[in-house]
Each structure stands twice: as C-alpha cells, then as structure tokens.
Structure 1
C-alpha cells in the first residue's frame, strides 16, 4: 500500500495599497468608467506608479472623453493614500493622462452583444481555470487573502491606527496528498510585511498584528505550537514612505488567480475588456472548473483554453483532474462543450462582462467574491 506523502505549499497575497495592486485597480476603474459610457467599449489600459506620480496610458475605442485624473484620485482615496507623508497622496500627486481615445461610434451598439456573437478573440493566447473542493480557493491563498483583507480593515477602521495601506502576506500550509487530493493539516508559517507610521515599536507591531489580524484570519484548527510567525521580520523596513515604491499593472497575476496552484496563461487581467481572452477565457475556465468540482465530477480540476486572434471558437480544450475523477478527459470535454459557449461574446453574455464590475476584481483576487457569476457553479446537463 502506497504511503501518503506530506509536503509544504506557499501562497502570497498583497494589500490594496501595494504599488502593483494600485495600478491594477486604477486600470480596472478606468475600464469600469468606459463600460458605464458604452458597454461595448474596447479598452486596453496600463498604469505605472512611482512616489508622487501615477501614469495612465493605453488605447480606448468608442469613448469620447475620460476624466483620468478624477478616476486616479478616487482610487487612491479609496485605498487610503490620503496623507502627504505617504508615497502617494490622492490630493497632491501628479497624474499623467497618456490614454489615446478613439471615439468613433460602433455600429450596432443598440443591439448589444448579439451583434458580436462571432467576434473573434482579440489576441492569441491560453488561459487556465482551477478549482478544488479543499475550500472555495486553495487554502494557502484563501488564508493569505484573509490576512490582507483584515489588514485593510485594521487600517480603515483604525483598529491599528499606525498601519498604512501597503501590505503583503504569505502563508505556508502543510498538506497530505491522498489519491490526488491535497488535504491541508496545519499552517506551517506566516509571513507579513506592512508599511506603518514611524513611532510604533516593532514588538508592539508584531504582537498586535498577530492578535488582531492573524488569529482573526486563520481558523484555530490550523494553528499549533509549531506554527512560525515572521511579522515584519527585518524590523523597520515597513516604515512609510519606504523609498522602494514603484509598480505597474499585471505584476501580481499569481495573487490574482490561484496562488501558484494550477497554472497561469501568462496574461494579466486588469484594464482589458472581454475581447481579450487573457481575462474572459480565464473567467470562464474558472467557471468550468468550479462547476465540475461542485457537481462531484472531480475533487480537483485544471482547465486550459487556447485561442487565436481572428477566430471566435477556442482552438483547444485541456482537462486535468489529477486522478480525482471517475470520468475520462474526453468525457469531461464533451460535458464542457455541451454546457458552455466559449466564444468571447458568449462568455461576456453569460458572465455579464460588459457591466462595470471590474474595480472590485482587482482588490483581493479575481476568484474570491461569490457575487461574480464565474464563482457561481453552472447547473450542468450531464
């Protein structure tokens, strides 16, 4: 009889105030504004930040005007960058608007997505979706996200009044592998780095984050006397401003998806409309994987979809259930094709991707909010 194997796996999350995450949120706030004006906007936005400056660039079609300055300042204020002694201050920072607008009207706007049923993918590429019955997200990532959410709450609600918005959390979980299933047994270690105001002692910072954030975020059943806590491990490196502040869109794609589990197609999500399969195909692949797991067709599932520019239908569908399904890959692919329309416009219709929903997706992982349709399992016809 084969013995069970034990291993460690780690995932990371970053707070809303992390410079790369600021860029993702600004890009998706711009996308949302475009969709409010014209649901069929074509949008490709990139953002970069440095101390005191935000640069927004890219191309937008079918929108006559955008107030980029107002969008950026709204996002920074919402995150909590509202002080002159931080790297960014929503009131005083410099905003560079380098977005190219092409306001020509799109024929057929009034008929909605039906006019675009066979619109091809906007680029070539592949996208992955992953799901497990371990938790809605893999536990390592779920716990890391919980920590950054609770750090945000501790900042915004003044539970830890010295805390600043730029935070990072990393969680390592010990697993037992049992017939393809990954069974979490305990949290091995937790790593947290957080910007803070000068004046708070490192000893106080570590204890308060442990008591008011970590123990609130991680269920007690996963913590034991051997769990290691590395909170601000190098001391005052987290003082704000830090002198190490720079970010761009798309650098936290593993945080956005599955924390290193499964796979990633390589393309970023934020700032892109549904035509870019980096985003829409990743959402529908997650929907498929979650639906298969929800209906008991597998305990773990990885889906890959590939596309070509100029073609609406996917070129390939790959299914891996890690030996946790009684169905073959061919049988599962048939179920997928019978239940899901994988053309970009059809994905947009099924998942409401022409609605201004994207700002929230950029905040704490794209697969963590049950309100999004791709997180609600489809009622499969088997």
Structure 2
C-alpha cells in the first residue's frame, strides 16, 4: 500500500516600510544625490551616507564628479516629495537643519576631440563608453539574487503584498482618500505556504499588520476601519483572504505616534525590505548612495535579473544566485546557483547558460542595465525589485 503524505505547510512573514520611515528617508536622499551626480557626469564615483533625527539631516561621504551639488536643496526637495511639510512633524523640509559634510573631490577633465579641455570631459562623445569599459569592481563583495514563480512579478508573495500595501497607503494620503495619514508607515504580511519538495506555493494570507503615523483628528477606530477597507482589502487579491485572516491595524492604539519608534535613521538599515523580505539570502551590503562600481548594488541587480530570467524561462520554479567579486578584478570569482530541487537542468548547465547570456563584469552590468543613468531615487522607495520600469526587472529571453 502506498502512503500518501500531505504537503507540509508553514508560515512566513515579510515587512515593508513607507517612504517616510526615517531609514528610508536616508536611502532616498542618498540616491537623489547619486542621481544628481549622474545627470552631469555618468562616470561619477559616489559614496553617500545620510542620518536623520528630529529637525536635523546629516549628509556625508565622498563624491568624485563634475557635478556641482546643492546638497541642502536636494535634501529639502526629497523631504517635500515624501510629505514632510508640516511644522508639527519630525522633519519639515522648510525649517529643518541640513549639515553637509560631503567631500567633493576634483576630477581630471578629459580633452575634447580637438585636444582642448572643455570642462565637461566625462560627457565627451566617444570618451565615456571607452572609460566605462575599463571599470572593475570597486570593492570585494558577495551578493544574492532570488526569484520564485509564486507571483507574476516572480517575487515572494509576502514582500510583494507588503510593498503593495505601503504604496497604497502613500497613494491614499496623496489622493486625499485618507487625508489624515502621514508618511511614516510600517506593514507586515504573513502568508501560509504549502511545500512539496523544493516547490512552494502560497495558500492564504494569515496575518496583516499595519501601523501608520497620522494627524490627531482621526480616532483609532476610524483609522483601523478605513485602512482595512480602503487599503488592505484593495491591495491583497481576494483569493488569499478568508474568514481566518487576522488584521492588526494600529495594534497599540496610539494616536499620531511615529511607527518606527524614536525618530532616527541612517542609510542601509532596510536591506531586507529592499530585497526579498527575508527569502533567499542577502550578502549584507546596502544599495543606496553607491554607484555601479560597488558590486553590493550593481551585481545584486544582475543576480536578480539572472534569477528572474531563469525562472521566467521555465528552467526552475525557484532560483537563488550568488555572485562574488574582488576589488580590482572585473570578472566574478564565483557563481553559485540553487534551484531548491525545482529544476530539471544541472547546475553546471545553468552556469553555462548564465555566462552565455549575461556580462558579469561591473562595466558590462552598468552598460546592460543603464546604471550610469539617474534612475536610483525611485529604487529607494518601495523595494528595488518591485517595478517593471527597472531594467533588471525586464526578463531576458535566454539563448539556451
């Protein structure tokens, strides 16, 4: 007699934070500065860090670029865009203090085609691609990319839904649907999965947690009902909700409290929110404020592109990629692939496919993914793998 085993089930949770979370404020400012550098000099070298506390933003780091930076202006524009525009908030873009400790180093200007310096050497036609081709990894590092067939975006359901709710909270504030909302929000989604071998499939949403900063003119009961009906239920497909789904909305009952606790933030503290919500793995390096030479960022985008393309091609149902690099060397030191037993193709064959279809040098990554363009501010808002507008989210049709 054959014994039929029921598929195993388990719970998994991922978190998202809103644009107004203090750590996310820092990420957005750092990437807005990076974008400004790249607008004027695509080969800018940028390493920016940001810290915030009530009434104060501190920006520091090193930039090698032809750009003339107005750090104070960039900071205030980001805060205004996020929604910090009231004197009774932790930061008001009009009145907060901005401390600029960015060291802008001089950059040697390239001659123009006539051999004369033109003051904009990094943008001289013909010079910039050849210079970019020579770029190598700026530091050692190992990064991961992950993809899964459980959603159309090939992202884990838990992080996809958490980001959806975060984006919907922002939209409800901007559009006036929930005018009492403020920018600092936190979301957590727990899903129940079934597992058969290495393949997993989400069954239902088990629990949703939302905490939102707000003005004092709304009661906790009004807030809970409005967020549940106008945001959560409209963000999660009905197929994942049932009578057992638990909702913890403003669970402490606080009025106007900053969800992140004591208001303080720095760049790079939301690396799991930025990536896969705890699924797969993470190399530990943050993204924001770094140009493409820092493989913490560029190679992580490439690893996601590879993993997503392999899953899209039907070569695996789940895929984890690791790439490792050394400073001063262009090619990766190692490639690791784990398909969790969901692929009929050998790992060695998958590595061959990767090398046939993708240029893994930092310069090649930058060229293929457009990483010398000012595209970064949007990535710092609701996950670096959530928008089809990001080049690494457009799957490559593979040559097999």
Structure 1 distance, partners of 2:261, 2:11, is 33
Structure 2 distance, partners of 1:241, 1:134, is 30
Is the counterpart of residue 128 in structure 1 residue 144 in structure 2?
yes
Which of 175, 178, 197 aligns to 2:193? It is 175
Is the counterpart of residue 189 in structure 1 residue 207 in structure 2?
yes
Superposed displacement of residue 57, structure 1: 0.4
Superposed displacement of residue 244, structure 1: 1.3
Structure 2 distance, partners of 1:9, 1:114, is 47
Summarize the Cα distance change of 1:253–1:241 in structure 2 as closer, same or farther, 3 Å threshold: closer
Summarize the Cα distance change of 1:252–1:262 in structure 2 as closer, same or farther, 3 Å threshold: same
Summarize the Cα distance change of 1:54–1:300 in structure 2 as closer, same or farther, 3 Å threshold: same
1:18-60 C-alpha deviation (Å, 9 max, x unpaired): 0000000000000000000100000000000000011110000
Superposed displacement of residue 105, structure 1: 2.4
Instruction: Say which SS state the counterpart of residue 24 (structure 1) adopts.
Output: helix
Is the counterpart of residue 239 in structure 1 residue 257 in structure 2?
yes
Structure 2 distance, partners of 1:105, 1:216, is 54
Which of 160, 166, 182 aligns to 1:142? It is 160
Which of 307, 312, 316 aligns to 1:289? It is 307
| 2:61–2:103 CA contact under 8 A, matched in 1 | yes
Structure 2 unpaired stretches of 5+: 111-120
Is the counterpart of residue 266 in structure 1 residue 269 in structure 2?
no
Structure 2 distance, partners of 1:5, 1:284, is 33
| 2:43–2:132 CA contact under 8 A, matched in 1 | no
Query: TM-score when scaled to structure 2?
Result: 0.93
Superposed displacement of residue 295, structure 1: 0.5
Which of 319, 327, 332 aligns to 1:301? It is 319
Which of 337, 344, 348 aligns to 2:362? It is 344
Summarize the Cα distance change of 1:240–1:297 in structure 2 as closer, same or farther, 3 Å threshold: closer
Is the counterpart of residue 253 in structure 1 residue 256 in structure 2?
no
Task: Compute the RMSD of aligned alpha carbons.
Answer: 1.4
| 2:212–2:259 CA contact under 8 A, matched in 1 | no
| 1:35–1:354 CA contact under 8 A, matched in 2 | yes
Summarize the Cα distance change of 1:337–1:195 in structure 2 as closer, same or farther, 3 Å threshold: same
Is the counterpart of residue 32 in structure 1 residue 28 in structure 2?
no
Summarize the Cα distance change of 1:118–1:161 in structure 2 as closer, same or farther, 3 Å threshold: same
Which of 24, 45, 49 aligns to 1:46? It is 49
1:253-289 C-alpha deviation (Å, 9 max, x unpaired): 0000000001111000000000000000000000000
Which of 312, 325, 329 aligns to 2:347? It is 329
Instruction: Say which SS state the counterpart of residue 135 (structure 2) adopts.
Output: coil
Superposed displacement of residue 237, structure 1: 5.8
Deviating above 6 A after TM superposition, structure 1's stretches of 4 or more consecutive aligned residues are: none
Summarize the Cα distance change of 1:195–1:70 in structure 2 as closer, same or farther, 3 Å threshold: same
| 2:165–2:232 CA contact under 8 A, matched in 1 | yes
Structure 1 distance, partners of 2:259, 2:101, is 27
Structure 1 unpaired stretches of 5+: none
| 1:39–1:354 CA contact under 8 A, matched in 2 | yes
Summarize the Cα distance change of 1:64–1:165 in structure 2 as closer, same or farther, 3 Å threshold: closer
Summarize the Cα distance change of 1:35–1:320 in structure 2 as closer, same or farther, 3 Å threshold: same
Structure 2 distance, partners of 1:140, 1:116, is 38
Match of residue 67 from structure 1: 70
Structure 1 distance, partners of 2:329, 2:213, is 46
Query: What are the equivalent positions in structure 2 for 1:4-19 lying under 5 Å apart?
Result: 4-19=7-22
Instruction: Say which SS state the counterpart of residue 236 (structure 1) adopts.
Output: coil
Structure 2 distance, partners of 1:113, 1:253, is 31
Query: TM-score when scaled to structure 1?
Result: 0.97
- Higher alpha-carbon deviation: 229-238 or 65-74: 229-238
Structure 2 distance, partners of 1:131, 1:237, is 39
| 2:186–2:259 CA contact under 8 A, matched in 1 | no
Superposed displacement of residue 290, structure 1: 0.5
Which of 98, 103, 120 aligns to 1:100? It is 103
Superposed displacement of residue 197, structure 1: 1.0
Match of residue 353 from structure 1: 371
| 1:197–1:239 CA contact under 8 A, matched in 2 | no
1:216-266 C-alpha deviation (Å, 9 max, x unpaired): 111111111110000010111643598711000000000000000011110
Structure 2 distance, partners of 1:66, 1:46, is 15
